[in-house]
Structure 1
Amino acid sequence: MLRNKKFKCLALVLIFILISSSLVFAEPVQKDLFNEVSKDAIFDHIKALVRADEDNPNGVDNARVTGFPGEHMAADYIEEQFKSYGLEVERQEFPILAFLSHGTEVSVSGTVYESKSFTFTPPTAEEGVSAELVYANLGSQEDFEKIDVRGKIALIKRGTYTFYDKTQNAAAAGAVGAIIFNNSTGIISGTLGSPTDIPVVALTQEDGEELVKLLNNSEVLEATIKAMTELEDSFSQNIIATLKANRGNKDAQTIVIGAHYDGVDVPAANDNASGTATMLEIARVLSKQKLAYDIKFIAFGAEEVGLVGSWEYVESLSEKELGNIVAMLNMDMVGVGNTMGVMTVSENAKSFIADLAEVYIKKFGHRYNRGTSSASDHAPFESYGVPVVFLNYGPDPYYHTDQDSLDKIEKDKLYNMGSLVTAMIYDMAKTPMPKAERGRKAKVNKYHNPETPME
C-alpha cells in the first residue's frame, strides 16, 4: 500500500510539473530541439524505405515484405543511419516463416470477384482449386456440423472466430478451400497466424452477401480459388540502437522507443515506414543531448506476421533487464490522418507514459483520441507489465492497400509526431525519476488478433 501511495504521489508531482505552462518547453535547449526536427528528413527516410525512384516515384510493391530481401535491405539502411548518429548498434536475428502473395483469383460460376489472400495462405496448383460452393455462416464447428462440405469450398462470413479457426474448422469438415467475406465495407487484410491446411481467400462484404443470396435461392455454384503465394523459411531481425546515459551511468534506467519497419506486399509508406523514419529523426536529434536514461531505439522486424520481432526482444531479456525499462513508446502509422491516437492494450492499464502523452498533445494543441489496441509492438511490453504508449495518426483509408504509397504521406503529421515525441522523451530523460511501479500485465495473444486489424 505504501508503494502505491509513493507512486501516485510521484505521478501527480510529475504531471503537475509538465502541465505548468511556466515550466513546459521553457528551456532554450528544447526550443532548439523543435527547430531541429525536420519533416523533410523524415520524408526522405520514408522515400528510401519504400524504394522510390524515377521509375517508381511513390515506392514499389513488396518494398519490405517480412523475411524477403526488401526487409533485409531496410535493416541495412536503418543500421547505417543509427551508426551515423554515433549510437551503439546491434542486430537481433531470429527465424521466421516468410510469406509473399503474388495475387489471387476467385471465380464463381464464370464471374470473377475481387479477392485477396490472407497472410500464410498456402499456394494452390496453377489451375487452382475448383468445387461446389457451400455457405457455412460464421464457420464455427457447430456451423459445419449442420452442412456437408466434404470436397467443397466453404463460404464464410467474417466475425466472432479468428480467420485461422474458421479455415481449420472447414478443413476438419472436409472442405478443400475457404472464402471469407467481410462484415464491413472493403476487402479484408488479415493474417492467419500460421499456415492452414487449405487455401483461404477474402472477398468484399457486397460480393459475399450476393453469393449468399444466390445459395439461399437454391442455386448450385461452382467456385475456383487460385492463390499465388510463397511460403519459405527465412529470417528477420531487430535493429537495436542505444544512446547511453550521460557519463555512462551503469545504473541508468531505460526508455524504449520502437517502430516496426517491415510491411505487407505494398509500398507500405505509412505502415510503417512513417513510424520508422520518425524514430530515426528523433534518434538523430536526441543523440546530441546528455540524458539521464539509456534510450533504446528499436526497429522491429516481422511485426506484420504477428509482432514476432517485439516478442523476440522482450522474451530475450532477463528479469533485471525487463525491470529496468521505465517505459516503452511505440510509433506505427504516423503520416496519414487528422487525429492522434494514444493507446495501451488494456483500458485500465497503469501507464504514466500514456498519461504524459495526453498532457503533451494538449500542450501542442493536437486533436487526439485515447483508446486501446493490441495490434502493434507495444503489446508484448505491456504483457510483461512495462508502462507503454502506442502513438499513431488516423484514420488511414489506405491501410494495407496498394494505395499506401509515398504520395499519401502528410509531412506536417510527421513533424507533429516527431516534435511531440522528441520533447516528451527529452523532458522525461533529462532528470532521473524514482523507479515507477510496474503496469498491469495485459493478456496478449502472440499474434495480431486477425478479427481486429489496426485501423
Structure 2
Amino acid sequence: MRLAPVAAPLLAAALIVACNDRVDPDPSPSGPTPPAASPTIVPAATPSTTPSAPAEPRTTAPSGRATGPEGHHANLALAHVQALAAAPRVAGTPAELRAVEYLERTLAAYGYQVERIPFTFENDPFRVGEVRVGGTPVEALTMAGSPGGTVEAPAVHIGLADDAGIAGRDLAGRIAVAERGSLTFAAKYRNAAAAGAIGLIVVNNQPGPFSGNLTLEAAFPVVAIAREDGQAILAAARAGATLAIAAPPTVGPTTAYNVIAHAPGQPNCRIIVGGHFDTVPGAPGANDNASGTANVLELARTFALQGPVPGLCFALFGAEESGLHGSKALVERLRTAGTLPRYMVNLDVTGIGTRVEVIGDTPAARRAIDLATANGIPSVASTLPPNTGSDHMSFAEAGVEVVFFTSGDFSTIHSPQDTAAAIDPATLDAIGDAAYLLVRDLLAQLD
C-alpha cells in the first residue's frame, strides 16, 4: 500500500529527520512508532540466498506445470506469505532481487513464461543496502553522505567510536562497528577513518531502524542498522568475524523490477491480475503486500491447472511504495505497444480484516461484489483512505477498467509488526476466492 502523495515522503522524512546527525547521549527512538482444516502444501520455490544482479530484461521458460486443488487455496497462499515476509523487500536492494527470483521460479513451475522487466526511477525515498553476517543478509539504511559500494573485511567493535572505543587501535583494512550515541555521526566516521577503517556500521541504541546524515562526503560506505538486527553484528565484530557491506549510492536513479507471467508465446494480456511485492524499510511486509502477492501467485496456479490461459497475465510490481513506479512503467510499456488490457485486478493488503472490500467505480467492481455475495463471501464497496494509493491507479489513469480487492485493515502496514504471524488465513482465502470468481467471470465474458 502506497501512502501517497503526502504520507510516503513524510514516512521517509520520519526515518531521516528524527534520526539526523545529533549530539545526544540518549537519542529518542528512531522512525515512526508502530501500532501497537486443509492439507499444508508448500510453494514450488524458496527464496535464494544470493540473487543474480544484471539490470536487464530476462525471460524464464516454463519449468513445470500447475498441480494441486482447484480454486484458491488458503494454505498455499499463506506459504507464499511466509516465504516472502521473512525480510523487507525494498526496491533497488538485493532483497528485492531475491524476491524477484522467488516469483520467477514459482510462476515458471506453474507453466508460465515469465518476464523480468527492469525499470528505473528518480528521487528514491529509500536508499537501502545490507550487511551480511555469517552469510545472512541484514537490512541497512545508507547514511546521507555515504558513497555507494561493497566492502568485505574483518570487523572490529569500537564502542561509541570515541577515544575509549577506538583506544589507539589500528583499523587499517577493517570494518568498524559502532553503537549510536554520544558523538555525532560525522565524528564517529572521522574517528573510524583516522584509524584506517574502510567501512562503518552504526547500530541503533533504540528499537527499530534509523537513518542519519553525516553532513560530509565520506570516503567509504557508512550504514545504519536496527538494534534488533545489530546484536548479531556487534557479536561478530567483537569476535573479529568478517562482515560485508553493500550500500547503494545516495544520489542517482534506482533500478527495480516487474515480474510478468503469461501463457508461453502469448504475451498480450486482456486481463492482468497483479499486486506489488516491495516493502518500505524495516517492515517485513506480510500484509503489505506479501498477502496480495501470495493471492496473485495462488490465482496463477489455479488458473493454470489445465495450462496457462491465453490473454490472462499475472504481474508483480516493484517500487510501489516509492511512488507506484512499477505499475506506471508497465502501463507505459503496454500503452506504447498498443496492448493495454481490458481489465486490471489489483490485490493489496489482503491478509487482515473481517470482510472483502472492493474498490473501483467500474462495472467489474460492482460485478465482483455481486459474485462474492452470491457465494456467501461478505463484501462491500469501499474507498481508499486519504493520501493513499495502489497500483490499480496507474491502469485506471490509462483507461483500463480496474477492480481493487483489499481487506481494509491497515493497522500494521509499514511497521515491524507487519509479520506473517499476524495474517489471517480465512481473510486471505476470502479475498482470493472473491478474486477467483471475478476473474473466471471476466474470462467468460471475453470468450
**TM-score relative to the length of structure 1:** 0.53
Is 1:362 matched up with 2:355? no
Does structure 2 retain, via aligned residues, the 8 Å contact 1:121–1:229?
no
Give the superposition deviation at 1:431. Answer: 5.0
- Counterpart CA distance in 2 for 1:253 and 1:86 is 16
Summarize the Cα distance change of 1:230–1:414 in structure 2 as closer, same or farther, 3 Å threshold.
Answer: farther
Deviations 1:49-104 (A, max 9, x none): 12xxxxxxxx33xx2011111111000000111100111111110123552479xx
Query: What is the 5 A alignment of 1:47-196?
Result: 47-50=82-85, 59-60=86-87, 63-96=88-121, 98=124, 99-100=126-127, 127=184
Summarize the Cα distance change of 1:315–1:253 in structure 2 as closer, same or farther, 3 Å threshold.
Answer: closer
Give the superposition deviation at 1:253. Answer: 6.2
Does structure 1 retain, via aligned residues, the 8 Å contact 2:112–2:263?
yes
1:385 corresponds to: 399
Give the superposition deviation at 1:121. Answer: 10
One-letter amino acid of the counterpart of residue 297, structure 1: F
Is 1:353 matched up with 2:367? no
Give the superposition deviation at 1:320. Answer: 6.2
Count of matched residue pairs: 269
Does structure 2 retain, via aligned residues, the 8 Å contact 1:68–1:234?
no
Structure 1 vs Structure 2 CA RMSD: 3.4
- Counterpart CA distance in 1 for 2:266 and 2:275 is 26
1:276 corresponds to: 293
Is 1:299 matched up with 2:319? no
One-letter amino acid of the counterpart of residue 366, structure 2: D
Give the superposition deviation at 1:46. Answer: 1.0
1:429 corresponds to: 443
Does structure 2 retain, via aligned residues, the 8 Å contact 1:307–1:376?
yes
Query: What is the 5 A alignment of 1:391-430?
Result: 391-430=405-444
Give the superposition deviation at 1:293. Answer: 5.2
Give the superposition deviation at 1:310. Answer: 0.3
Q: 2:342 aligns with which of 326, 329, 344?
A: 326
Deviations 1:270-302 (A, max 9, x none): 100010011101101101247875111000001
Moved over 4 A (4+): 32-36, 119-126, 290-293
Does structure 1 retain, via aligned residues, the 8 Å contact 2:273–2:296?
yes
Q: 2:259 aligns with which of 216, 224, 239?
A: 239
- Counterpart CA distance in 2 for 1:92 and 1:352 is 31
1:263 corresponds to: 279
Give the superposition deviation at 1:430. Answer: 3.5
Summarize the Cα distance change of 1:290–1:229 in structure 2 as closer, same or farther, 3 Å threshold.
Answer: closer
- Counterpart CA distance in 2 for 1:358 and 1:47 is 29
Give the superposition deviation at 1:319. Answer: 5.6
- Counterpart CA distance in 1 for 2:420 and 2:293 is 14
Give the fraction of aligned pairs with identical amino acids, expressed as a percent. Answer: 31
2:354 corresponds to: 338
- Counterpart CA distance in 1 for 2:329 and 2:76 is 30
SS of the residue 1:310 aligns to: helix
Does structure 2 retain, via aligned residues, the 8 Å contact 1:337–1:396?
no
One-letter amino acid of the counterpart of residue 231, structure 1: T
- Counterpart CA distance in 1 for 2:259 and 2:306 is 21
Give the superposition deviation at 1:229. Answer: 11
Summarize the Cα distance change of 1:379–1:272 in structure 2 as closer, same or farther, 3 Å threshold.
Answer: same
- Counterpart CA distance in 2 for 1:332 and 1:120 is 28
SS of the residue 2:284 aligns to: coil
Give the superposition deviation at 1:231. Answer: 3.1
One-letter amino acid of the counterpart of residue 41, structure 1: L
One-letter amino acid of the counterpart of residue 278, structure 2: D
Is 1:40 matched up with 2:75? yes
Summarize the Cα distance change of 1:363–1:48 in structure 2 as closer, same or farther, 3 Å threshold.
Answer: same
One-letter amino acid of the counterpart of residue 326, structure 2: G
Summarize the Cα distance change of 1:86–1:238 in structure 2 as closer, same or farther, 3 Å threshold.
Answer: same
2:29 corresponds to: none
- Counterpart CA distance in 2 for 1:312 and 1:392 is 23
Deviates more, 1:263-272 or 1:32-41: 32-41
SS of the residue 2:436 aligns to: helix
One-letter amino acid of the counterpart of residue 313, structure 2: K
**TM-score relative to the length of structure 2:** 0.54
SS of the residue 1:394 aligns to: coil
- Counterpart CA distance in 2 for 1:86 and 1:47 is 23
Does structure 2 retain, via aligned residues, the 8 Å contact 1:293–1:429?
no
Does structure 2 retain, via aligned residues, the 8 Å contact 1:353–1:388?
yes
- Counterpart CA distance in 2 for 1:33 and 1:419 is 16
SS of the residue 1:317 aligns to: helix
One-letter amino acid of the counterpart of residue 258, structure 2: N
Structure 1: gaps (5+ residues): 1-31, 51-58, 103-118, 130-227, 434-455
Give the superposition deviation at 1:372. Answer: 3.1
Give the superposition deviation at 1:395. Answer: 1.9
One-letter amino acid of the counterpart of residue 314, structure 1: V
Summarize the Cα distance change of 1:409–1:120 in structure 2 as closer, same or farther, 3 Å threshold.
Answer: same
Summarize the Cα distance change of 1:238–1:291 in structure 2 as closer, same or farther, 3 Å threshold.
Answer: closer
SS of the residue 2:338 aligns to: helix
Summarize the Cα distance change of 1:96–1:291 in structure 2 as closer, same or farther, 3 Å threshold.
Answer: closer
- Counterpart CA distance in 2 for 1:397 and 1:418 is 21
SS of the residue 1:396 aligns to: coil
Does structure 1 retain, via aligned residues, the 8 Å contact 2:303–2:309?
no
